[in-house]
Amino acid sequence: SLDDDMDILKGGLRTVTKTDDVAEFKKALTDMRGAAEDAKTQTPDKLKGQPSDSPEMKDYHAGLDKLIGQIDSSMKLADAGDLAGAKAEAKKFADTRDENHKKFR
């Protein structure tokens, strides 16, 4: 469910904020990416009853794609051994969350 996906995002965000272990960091990003992809297949309660191609649904998908893009940027840095850079990128996740929760939660 969308709630399950959001719980995974929440746990992942906590891990990437706290850990200094690259393997744990990357595992959390991978879990977050999967949850964000699954969330794209779900419909928020606020948008229930809307066609899947409504402007609001497109905007909802774009919000998740933005998060996925940030996750991928962070993963690239982690892969390159730049954990500090990866963590700086991960700081942006919370902005994307807040911005989209305002609209869709």
Stretch that binds ligand HEM, among 16-24, 49-57, 76-84, 89-97 (CB under 6 A): 89-97
Residues in 9-68 that interact with ligand HEM by CB under 6 A: 9-10, 13, 44-46, 60, 63-64, 67
Please, what is the minimum distance in Å from the beta carbon of residue 29 to ligand HEM? Answer: 11
For the residues of 38-102, what is the DSSP string, one character each?
A: HHTTS--GGGTTS-TTSHHHHHHHHHHHHHHHHHHHHHHHHHTT-HHHHHHHHTHHHHHHHHHHH
The Cα–Cα gap between 82 and 102 comes to: 32
**Which residues form the interface with ligand HEM (CB under 6 A)?**
2-3, 6-7, 9-10, 13, 44-46, 60, 63-64, 67, 93, 96-97, 100-101, 104-105
